[in-house]
Amino acid sequence: MTLGRWTAALLGLVALTDLFAVVTDHGMYDTVRERAAAGAAVIDVYTTHAENQLMVVAAVAQAVAFSACGVVFLVWFHRVRVNAEVFRPDGHEMKRGWAIGGWFVPVANLWFPRRIAGDIWRASARAGEPRSEALLNLWWTLWLGSWALGRIASRAYDSAFQGDAAPVDAAGDGLLWMMASDGFDAVTAVVAAVFVLRLSAAQHEKAVALAAAVAAETAPAAGVPAPPATPVPPHGA
Protein backbone atom coordinates (compact mmCIF):
# COMPACT_ATOMS: atom_id res chain seq x y z
CA MET A 1 0.00 0.00 0.00
CA THR A 2 2.86 2.41 0.75
CA LEU A 3 4.24 2.34 -2.78
CA GLY A 4 0.74 2.80 -4.16
CA ARG A 5 0.19 5.85 -1.96
CA TRP A 6 3.46 7.39 -3.11
CA THR A 7 2.52 6.76 -6.72
CA ALA A 8 -0.91 8.34 -6.21
CA ALA A 9 0.66 11.32 -4.44
CA LEU A 10 3.02 11.94 -7.35
CA LEU A 11 0.11 11.66 -9.78
CA GLY A 12 -1.58 14.33 -7.68
CA LEU A 13 1.54 16.47 -8.05
CA VAL A 14 1.37 15.99 -11.83
CA ALA A 15 -2.23 17.18 -11.77
CA LEU A 16 -1.26 20.28 -9.77
CA THR A 17 1.51 21.21 -12.21
CA ASP A 18 -0.96 20.72 -15.07
CA LEU A 19 -3.39 23.12 -13.42
CA PHE A 20 -0.58 25.62 -12.92
CA ALA A 21 0.15 25.28 -16.65
CA VAL A 22 -3.51 25.97 -17.45
CA VAL A 23 -3.29 29.19 -15.44
CA THR A 24 -0.15 30.32 -17.24
CA ASP A 25 -1.64 29.36 -20.62
CA HIS A 26 -4.69 31.44 -19.82
CA GLY A 27 -2.52 34.41 -18.83
CA MET A 28 -0.87 34.32 -22.24
CA TYR A 29 -4.24 33.84 -23.92
CA ASP A 30 -5.62 36.95 -22.23
CA THR A 31 -2.69 38.98 -23.54
CA VAL A 32 -3.27 37.65 -27.06
CA ARG A 33 -6.95 38.57 -26.87
CA GLU A 34 -6.09 42.08 -25.68
CA ARG A 35 -3.73 42.53 -28.65
CA ALA A 36 -6.41 41.21 -31.02
CA ALA A 37 -9.00 43.59 -29.54
CA ALA A 38 -6.58 46.46 -30.07
CA GLY A 39 -6.42 45.59 -33.76
CA ALA A 40 -2.96 43.98 -33.78
CA ALA A 41 -2.37 41.33 -36.42
CA VAL A 42 0.64 39.78 -34.70
CA ILE A 43 1.95 39.39 -31.19
CA ASP A 44 5.69 39.51 -30.47
CA VAL A 45 7.84 37.88 -27.81
CA TYR A 46 8.67 41.20 -26.19
CA THR A 47 5.03 41.99 -25.48
CA THR A 48 4.52 38.57 -23.87
CA HIS A 49 7.88 38.17 -22.13
CA ALA A 50 6.49 37.88 -18.58
CA GLU A 51 3.71 35.45 -19.59
CA ASN A 52 6.18 33.38 -21.62
CA GLN A 53 8.53 33.09 -18.65
CA LEU A 54 5.69 31.76 -16.49
CA MET A 55 4.83 29.23 -19.16
CA VAL A 56 8.44 28.06 -19.19
CA VAL A 57 8.37 27.64 -15.40
CA ALA A 58 5.15 25.64 -15.68
CA ALA A 59 6.60 23.45 -18.43
CA VAL A 60 9.69 22.68 -16.35
CA ALA A 61 7.53 21.86 -13.31
CA GLN A 62 5.42 19.54 -15.45
CA ALA A 63 8.49 17.78 -16.84
CA VAL A 64 10.03 17.24 -13.40
CA ALA A 65 6.78 16.01 -11.85
CA PHE A 66 6.01 13.71 -14.79
CA SER A 67 9.53 12.22 -14.80
CA ALA A 68 9.51 11.51 -11.06
CA CYS A 69 6.00 10.09 -11.25
CA GLY A 70 6.88 7.97 -14.29
CA VAL A 71 9.75 6.24 -12.49
CA VAL A 72 7.72 5.48 -9.36
CA PHE A 73 4.69 4.42 -11.40
CA LEU A 74 6.76 1.89 -13.35
CA VAL A 75 8.16 0.44 -10.12
CA TRP A 76 4.62 0.18 -8.72
CA PHE A 77 3.23 -1.33 -11.93
CA HIS A 78 5.92 -4.01 -11.98
CA ARG A 79 5.32 -4.73 -8.29
CA VAL A 80 1.57 -5.26 -8.71
CA ARG A 81 2.30 -7.46 -11.74
CA VAL A 82 4.56 -9.66 -9.62
CA ASN A 83 1.93 -9.80 -6.88
CA ALA A 84 -0.75 -10.73 -9.39
CA GLU A 85 1.35 -13.68 -10.53
CA VAL A 86 1.33 -14.95 -6.94
CA PHE A 87 -2.45 -14.65 -6.81
CA ARG A 88 -3.03 -16.23 -10.23
CA PRO A 89 0.05 -17.77 -11.88
CA ASP A 90 -1.81 -18.86 -15.03
CA GLY A 91 -3.78 -15.65 -15.61
CA HIS A 92 -1.23 -13.60 -17.54
CA GLU A 93 -0.76 -13.40 -21.30
CA MET A 94 2.59 -11.59 -21.14
CA LYS A 95 5.82 -11.97 -19.18
CA ARG A 96 6.30 -9.74 -16.16
CA GLY A 97 9.15 -7.82 -17.86
CA TRP A 98 6.59 -6.30 -20.22
CA ALA A 99 5.10 -4.43 -17.26
CA ILE A 100 7.99 -2.00 -17.80
CA GLY A 101 9.15 -2.71 -21.34
CA GLY A 102 5.66 -2.49 -22.79
CA TRP A 103 5.55 1.25 -22.14
CA PHE A 104 8.61 1.91 -24.32
CA VAL A 105 7.89 -0.10 -27.48
CA PRO A 106 6.50 2.24 -30.16
CA VAL A 107 2.93 1.47 -31.29
CA ALA A 108 2.74 -1.56 -28.99
CA ASN A 109 2.70 0.82 -26.02
CA LEU A 110 -0.80 1.84 -27.12
CA TRP A 111 -2.24 -1.47 -25.89
CA PHE A 112 0.41 -3.67 -24.20
CA PRO A 113 0.16 -1.90 -20.80
CA ARG A 114 -3.66 -2.14 -20.96
CA ARG A 115 -3.50 -5.89 -21.53
CA ILE A 116 -1.10 -6.30 -18.62
CA ALA A 117 -3.19 -4.04 -16.38
CA GLY A 118 -6.30 -6.07 -17.25
CA ASP A 119 -4.61 -9.31 -16.21
CA ILE A 120 -3.44 -7.70 -12.97
CA TRP A 121 -6.89 -6.25 -12.29
CA ARG A 122 -8.65 -9.61 -12.74
CA ALA A 123 -6.03 -11.57 -10.79
CA SER A 124 -6.34 -9.16 -7.86
CA ALA A 125 -10.10 -9.73 -7.44
CA ARG A 126 -11.24 -12.16 -4.79
CA ALA A 127 -12.13 -15.65 -5.96
CA GLY A 128 -15.63 -15.80 -7.42
CA GLU A 129 -16.06 -12.02 -7.20
CA PRO A 130 -16.87 -10.33 -10.54
CA ARG A 131 -14.84 -7.15 -10.91
CA SER A 132 -15.93 -4.30 -13.14
CA GLU A 133 -13.22 -2.95 -15.43
CA ALA A 134 -14.93 0.42 -15.84
CA LEU A 135 -12.26 2.30 -13.88
CA LEU A 136 -9.48 0.49 -15.75
CA ASN A 137 -11.05 1.31 -19.11
CA LEU A 138 -11.64 4.94 -18.12
CA TRP A 139 -8.02 5.35 -17.03
CA TRP A 140 -6.63 3.86 -20.23
CA THR A 141 -9.00 5.81 -22.47
CA LEU A 142 -8.03 9.06 -20.76
CA TRP A 143 -4.34 8.16 -20.99
CA LEU A 144 -4.58 7.60 -24.76
CA GLY A 145 -6.63 10.78 -25.14
CA SER A 146 -4.12 12.78 -23.14
CA TRP A 147 -1.26 11.41 -25.23
CA ALA A 148 -3.00 12.31 -28.52
CA LEU A 149 -4.24 15.71 -27.36
CA GLY A 150 -0.80 16.65 -26.07
CA ARG A 151 0.74 16.08 -29.47
CA ILE A 152 -1.96 18.04 -31.26
CA ALA A 153 -1.58 20.94 -28.82
CA SER A 154 2.21 20.98 -29.12
CA ARG A 155 2.06 21.12 -32.91
CA ALA A 156 -0.56 23.88 -32.90
CA TYR A 157 1.42 25.97 -30.41
CA ASP A 158 4.80 25.42 -32.06
CA SER A 159 3.44 26.25 -35.52
CA ALA A 160 2.02 29.53 -34.19
CA PHE A 161 5.11 30.61 -32.24
CA GLN A 162 7.87 29.80 -34.73
CA GLY A 163 9.68 33.14 -34.60
CA ASP A 164 9.74 36.39 -32.67
CA ALA A 165 6.16 37.16 -33.70
CA ALA A 166 3.02 35.12 -34.21
CA PRO A 167 -0.34 35.86 -35.86
CA VAL A 168 -2.84 36.57 -33.08
CA ASP A 169 -5.41 34.12 -34.48
CA ALA A 170 -2.92 31.24 -34.68
CA ALA A 171 -1.48 32.15 -31.27
CA GLY A 172 -4.96 32.13 -29.72
CA ASP A 173 -5.80 28.76 -31.26
CA GLY A 174 -2.49 27.27 -30.12
CA LEU A 175 -3.05 28.46 -26.55
CA LEU A 176 -6.60 27.09 -26.50
CA TRP A 177 -5.20 23.70 -27.52
CA MET A 178 -2.56 23.97 -24.77
CA MET A 179 -5.17 24.78 -22.12
CA ALA A 180 -7.32 21.87 -23.25
CA SER A 181 -4.34 19.50 -23.21
CA ASP A 182 -3.09 20.54 -19.78
CA GLY A 183 -6.59 20.40 -18.29
CA PHE A 184 -7.26 16.99 -19.81
CA ASP A 185 -3.93 15.73 -18.49
CA ALA A 186 -4.84 16.88 -14.97
CA VAL A 187 -8.06 14.87 -15.10
CA THR A 188 -6.16 11.85 -16.42
CA ALA A 189 -3.66 12.06 -13.55
CA VAL A 190 -6.45 12.17 -10.96
CA VAL A 191 -8.21 9.14 -12.46
CA ALA A 192 -4.86 7.32 -12.63
CA ALA A 193 -4.33 8.03 -8.92
CA VAL A 194 -7.74 6.54 -8.12
CA PHE A 195 -6.88 3.48 -10.22
CA VAL A 196 -3.56 3.04 -8.41
CA LEU A 197 -5.16 3.28 -4.97
CA ARG A 198 -8.02 0.91 -5.87
CA LEU A 199 -5.70 -1.73 -7.31
CA SER A 200 -3.25 -1.47 -4.40
CA ALA A 201 -6.13 -1.81 -1.91
CA ALA A 202 -7.53 -4.81 -3.80
CA GLN A 203 -4.17 -6.58 -3.70
CA HIS A 204 -3.76 -5.82 -0.01
CA GLU A 205 -7.24 -7.17 0.77
CA LYS A 206 -6.64 -10.30 -1.28
CA ALA A 207 -3.27 -10.94 0.36
CA VAL A 208 -4.84 -10.63 3.81
CA ALA A 209 -7.73 -12.92 2.83
CA LEU A 210 -5.38 -15.55 1.38
CA ALA A 211 -3.14 -15.42 4.44
CA ALA A 212 -6.18 -15.89 6.69
CA ALA A 213 -7.40 -18.82 4.57
CA VAL A 214 -4.00 -20.51 4.66
CA ALA A 215 -3.77 -19.95 8.41
CA ALA A 216 -7.21 -21.51 8.89
CA GLU A 217 -6.31 -24.54 6.78
CA THR A 218 -3.02 -25.12 8.58
CA ALA A 219 -4.31 -24.35 12.08
CA PRO A 220 -3.42 -27.29 14.35
CA ALA A 221 -6.06 -29.21 16.25
CA ALA A 222 -6.37 -28.60 19.97
CA GLY A 223 -3.28 -29.76 21.78
CA VAL A 224 -1.17 -30.13 18.61
CA PRO A 225 1.77 -27.68 18.29
CA ALA A 226 1.65 -25.25 15.33
CA PRO A 227 4.05 -25.77 12.40
CA PRO A 228 7.05 -23.41 12.47
CA ALA A 229 6.75 -22.12 8.88
CA THR A 230 4.27 -19.50 7.69
CA PRO A 231 3.45 -18.44 4.12
CA VAL A 232 5.09 -15.29 2.83
CA PRO A 233 2.51 -12.76 1.54
CA PRO A 234 3.08 -10.82 -1.69
CA HIS A 235 5.07 -7.59 -1.64
CA GLY A 236 3.17 -4.52 -0.53
CA ALA A 237 2.03 -2.39 -3.43
Q: d(Cα 12, Cα 34) in Å, to the nearest integer?
A: 33
CB 75 within 8 A of CB 51: no
User: Does residue 229 belong to any structural domain of this protein?
Assistant: no
Q: How confident is the model over 65-78, as pLDDT tens digits?
A: 999 999 999 999 99
SS3 39: coil
User: Does residue 228 belong to any structural domain of this protein?
Assistant: no
Q: How confident is the model over 19-65, as pLDDT tens digits?
A: 999 999 999 999 999 989 988 888 887 778 889 899 999 999 999 99
End-to-end CA distance of the chain: 5
Average of per-residue pLDDT across 91-113:
94
- Predicted TM-score (pTM) of the model is 0.88
Residue 227 has pLDDT above 80, yes or no: no
Full domain range(s) for residue 160: 2-218
User: Does residue 32 belong to any structural domain of this protein?
Assistant: yes
What is the pLDDT at residue 216?
80
User: Does residue 49 belong to any structural domain of this protein?
Assistant: yes
User: Does residue 177 belong to any structural domain of this protein?
Assistant: yes
SS3 167: strand
**Total count of domains within the chain:** 1
Q: How confident is the model over 150-188, as pLDDT tens digits?
A: 999 999 999 988 877 789 999 999 999 999 999 999 999
Residue 116: how many other CB atoms lie within 10 Å: 25
User: Does residue 191 belong to any structural domain of this protein?
Assistant: yes
User: Does residue 225 belong to any structural domain of this protein?
Assistant: no
Residue 7 has pLDDT above 80, yes or no: yes
User: Does residue 164 belong to any structural domain of this protein?
Assistant: yes
Question: What DSSP string runs through 111-138?
Answer: THHHHHHHHHHHHTSPTT-----HHHHH
Task: Give whole-number Cα distances, 190 to 35, 111, 195, 196, 226, in Å.
Answer: 35, 21, 9, 10, 46
